[in-house]
């Protein structure tokens, strides 16, 4: 045991080390299980069930906003400023 570290600190360090090892082992197990589930089988890769589709008939409708000529020019000016290619 370390003489300059109190017994309570040593116990806390041992608990922290044990929790870290359990966490790392659990994370590795979950990652390994997920990797094998995704790559197994000859079919297409499965999609995430919790994320809704963003396109197609099941997804939300597409949105489009028409800009006026002045708005397009203003946007182009902002893009030029952002790119650092502003010309006067």
pLDDT digits (tens, 9 = 90+) for 33-84: 876 655 555 666 666 566 665 666 666 677 778 899 999 999 999 988 887 7
pTM for the full model?
0.39
Classified as helix, coil or strand, 71 is helix
State residue 27's pLDDT score: 93
Find the length of the chain. Answer: 88
The domains of the chain are located at 1-43
Q: How far apart (Å, rounded) are the C-alpha atoms in residues 11 and 83? A: 55
Q: Which tokens sit at 46?
A: 């499965």
Sequence-distant (6+) residues with CB within 8 A of 18 are none
């Amino acid at each position: 045991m370390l003489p300059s570290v109190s017994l309570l600190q040593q116990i806390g360090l041992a608990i922290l080390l044990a929790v870290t090892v359990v966490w790392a082992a659990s994370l590795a197990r979950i990652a390994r299980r997920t990797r094998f589930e995704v790559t197994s089988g000859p079919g297409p890769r499965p999609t995430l069930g919790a994320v809704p589709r963003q396109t197609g008939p099941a997804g939300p409708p597409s949105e489009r906003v028409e800009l006026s000529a002045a708005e397009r020019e203003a946007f182009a000016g902002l893009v030029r400023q952002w790119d650092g290619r502003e010309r006067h």
